[in-house]
Structure formats: C-alpha cells, structure tokens
Amino acid sequence: MSETTKFLLAESQIPTVWVNVLPSLPEPLDLPLNPQTRTPLGPQDLAPIFPMELIQQEFSPQAEIDIPGEVLDVYRLWRPAPLYRARRLEKALDTPAHIYYKYEGTSPAGSHKPNTAVAQAYYNKRAGIRRLSTETGAGQWGSALALACQMFGMECTVYMVRVSYDQKPYRRMMMHTWGAKVYASPSHHTHAGRAVQAAAPDSPGSLGIAISEAVEDAATHPDTNYSLGSVLNHVLLHQTVIGQEAKLQMGMAGEEPDVVIGCFGGGSNFGGLALPYVLDRLKGKGPRIVAVEPAACPSLTKGAFVYDFGDTAKLTPLLKMYTLGHDFVPPGIHAGGLRYHGASPLMSHLRKLGYVDAIAYTQVPVFDAALQFARTEGILPAPESSHAIRAAMDEALAAREEGRPRTILFCLSGHGHFDLSAYENYLTGKLQDYEYPGQDIEKALAAIQPVTA
C-alpha cells in the first residue's frame, strides 16, 4: 500500500468565496416569521441582534459572496483542511468502495465551527460591536466563538447549559483560555435566567434556556450582538468552504462521489459539505446526499415540516423547518451537538424537494463505527461525526454485498478528544442505546401550533 492517503491543497487554494444556493432553488424558501405578528421578517427585525452584513447574507440573491481578506487570514491558521482516503478502513471492511473523508478537526477548536464563528466575529467587529453573546451545550460552538472573538479583539460571553458546565469542564476551560466569560445557564445575569431559577432553583438548564439568555443579553446591550452556530442560512453559507475544498480534492483524487454524507444536528457541517454538491443536483447531476441524525432526535426522519420556534421560550422567529416541536427534549446521548429539535430551514427545504435524503442511527452502532474508525484511521472521531462514519461504512458494506465499487465522501466534522468518557462507557458496555422515543415525538409534535405565513 503506497498510494496517496491525503489530498492536500496549497494555502492559495483556500476558497475566496462562499457559495450560496438561495438564488438557484427551484422554489424559494418560506421566509421566517415575526413571532408576535406572524408576518414575514424584514431585515430590520433582526437588526437588534445581528449586523446588517450577516442579515443581508441570510437573504442574499447573489450566487457567490466574497470572503473578506481578514477572515481568510484567520482561516489560514488551519485551512485548507485535509481530505483523506480511508484506505485502512476500506481494507478492514474488505470493500470495493472508495471511502473519502474531509477532516475539519484540525481547527484550533477541533471542529468545523470556527468557519462561521470567524466570519460572524469579523462582520460584527466591522459593525462596531464590542461583544458577542451566545449559548453552548457541550461547548463546541462556544469554544469556536471564543477563539474567533479573541482573533478580532472582541469580548465573548457564553451561556453554557449548567449540566455541561459542571460535568464537562474541559470545553469551559478552553473558552477561558481564549478569553471568554462563561456563565452556567440558567444564570443570574438575565431576566430569563433569574426567572427559571426562581421557578426551579436546581434547574440543570437546557439549550432553549441558554438561547433565551444569550438573545436577551444581546438585545439589551447596544454594544453586544448575538451569534448562532448553526441552522441559519448565513451560517451554512460560511461552511461552504468545506464542500468547495472537498470538490477540488476529489478532483485531485480523480474521482466523483456517488454519495455525500454528513451528520445532522442543526445542519451546519452537513450543509457545508453538501451545498456545493446540491448545486450540481439542481442542475440534474451530482451525487446522492445523505444526512445522518441520531435516532434519539430524528427531526428530518420523524419530524413535521412546519413553522416552529427555534427555542423553548419562543423568543426566536418562527422558522419553516423539519421539527420535533420546540418542547421536545431528546435523551442525553453523547452526540450533544445533534440534540436539536429543529433543522436548518434551507436543508429542510432541500429535503422536502427531494434533493437530500436522511437516515437515523441509535448510538451503539454509531460507537461501533467510531471505534473501528479510530483503530484503522487513527483519528478519534467526535460522537457527532461518528454518525456520518456509520453511514459511510454501511454504504461500503452494501458495495461489498453487491460486489460493485462506489465512491463515498463524508465529513469528519471534529475530533473526540473531549468525548473520551463516552468511549470508555462504550468499551465497558455502559452505553445505553436509546430507541426512537416514539410517544415523546408524537406528544411534542402535537404541541406545535399550526402557523401559516
């Protein structure tokens, strides 16, 4: 075995634009709605918490948007990211399939999240904003934004779900190292947080509460804006550097993928890899595109395609998306980054139109795949990313059964250095395999109130 393992681009090949599928959609996206008036949002509705350049990107009709030089300068700290051919995994699976993966874990924060955090910090800085607030669960997004704010000399306040704040101290320490202030949520720093604590002094917190705190913080401080790590169009736009690089690298490998796979929480790493391929699909060619979600939180595979809130407290705009209902609380699976009740409206739309497929796995087979990957390819994958590995391996095993090659490309969105206790649980047989919480889903879906624009 001496064939190429990694496909490495030169620094000059980092993409200089983000690609935007909005103008190429066969049917336009349904617009977000103002939560009070239930009428379509205008840019001014978002101005209290987002800078105008990001709001424009959210609705942009331009097919390409230039990446500012200052953002590229930070991307250069880790981009271009490598594309690997998983030769050792292929051999272990005895498959005729070729498996490629785009690895985003080489960023300082260890995932794809800085691709958008850096852009968001830049545009906010340029708009005169001094501080960004955000929420984080296990800490992937919070640490990415802490890094990005540090790069542009901004302050960063992170509301971290209390149970993670207490149980997962390493990501919190990482945010401190990059200069962020981190509060356990519910906190005493916001009305929303104090209200929750008054009602439930021992509240472990939730992403919904933390979002409410971060949004309130931004809305009540003129020098502060809010920043979101997934779901919205401009976030997925920034992530398209992943897919653009992967296309160049697949070209170096002399192959076209038959199937493109990504794990799916809010949709940002999946969209980042998939959207440049979606543009091909919209022209009638291109690969199958498969989103992989946890069976414990199956928005794309079991949810309803309706208007719903992005948070539990109903502070956010109403978004047309696949959702399990804003009251849905998924079980505590280790892939914390995939525990979101909703889904990117853009990727939901593409799923509805048939350009994107979706499948779901429980976590034990996902960890089976993670372990085999770690023991063949070396890299310890994040539990989130391991959903994509499971699907890629199943594609490769299907190719073996059929006795026909196929070319598989997936996004390895991050490393699992802060998830080793999950591996230990798996190795010692303590990992619980949650079934589809069918009744919970039905109940949560029933609670969604019908909204039409």
Q: Is 267 left (phi over 0), alpha (psi -120 to 50) or beta?
A: left
Nearer to a second copy, 38 or 76 (CB): 76
Tokens matching residue 337: 């980054």
CB distance 212 to 313 below 8 Å: yes
Task: Give residues in contact with a second copy (CB under 8 A).
Answer: 1-2, 4-6, 8, 10-11, 69, 72-74, 76-78, 84, 88, 106-108, 110, 147, 150-151, 169-170, 173-174, 176-179, 371, 374-375, 377-380, 417-418, 420-421, 423-424, 427
In whole angstroms, the minimum distance from the beta carbon of 164 to a second copy comes to 15
In whole angstroms, the minimum distance from the beta carbon of 115 to a second copy comes to 13
Instruction: Classify the C-alpha dihedral 279-282-286-287 as positive or negative.
Output: positive
| Total residue count of the chain as it appears in this document | 453
Nearer to a second copy, 25 or 72 (CB): 72
Nearer to a second copy, 88 or 189 (CB): 88
In whole angstroms, the minimum distance from the beta carbon of 412 to a second copy comes to 12
In whole angstroms, the minimum distance from the beta carbon of 363 to a second copy comes to 16
In whole angstroms, the minimum distance from the beta carbon of 2 to a second copy comes to 6
Nearer to a second copy, 2 or 452 (CB): 2
Nearer to a second copy, 203 or 425 (CB): 425
In whole angstroms, the minimum distance from the beta carbon of 331 to a second copy comes to 22
**Closest CA relative to residue 203, chosen from 214, 190, 194:** 194
CA 149 to CA 140: how far, in whole Å?
A: 15
CB distance 275 to 18 below 8 Å: no
Report CA dihedral (75, 390, 140, 445) to the nearest 10 degrees. Answer: 120
Task: Count CA atoms closer than 13 A to 196's CA, side-chain side.
Answer: 25
Contacts of 2 (CB under 8 A, 6+ apart): none
In whole angstroms, the minimum distance from the beta carbon of 7 to a second copy comes to 8
Q: Which helix (H) or strand (E) holds 125?
A: helix 114-126
Nearer to a second copy, 148 or 324 (CB): 148
Nearer to a second copy, 176 or 194 (CB): 176
Nearer to a second copy, 144 or 399 (CB): 144
Q: Which helix (H) or strand (E) holds 160?
A: strand 155-161
Nearer to a second copy, 107 or 133 (CB): 107
In whole angstroms, the minimum distance from the beta carbon of 77 to a second copy comes to 5
Residue reference for tokens 């990504």: 262
CA 4 to CA 98: how far, in whole Å?
A: 12
CA 96 to CA 397: how far, in whole Å?
A: 9
Strand locations in 67-154, DSSP E?
Answer: 83-85, 98-103, 131-136
CA 130 to CA 175: how far, in whole Å?
A: 18
Nearer to a second copy, 82 or 287 (CB): 82
Q: Which helix (H) or strand (E) holds 412?
A: strand 407-412
In whole angstroms, the minimum distance from the beta carbon of 393 to a second copy comes to 17
In whole angstroms, the minimum distance from the beta carbon of 414 to a second copy comes to 12
Q: Which residues in 58-78 are b (16+ Cβ under 10 Å) and which e? A: bbbeeeebebeebbbebbeee
In whole angstroms, the minimum distance from the beta carbon of 136 to a second copy comes to 16
Q: Which helix (H) or strand (E) holds 239?
A: helix 233-253
Nearer to a second copy, 309 or 423 (CB): 423
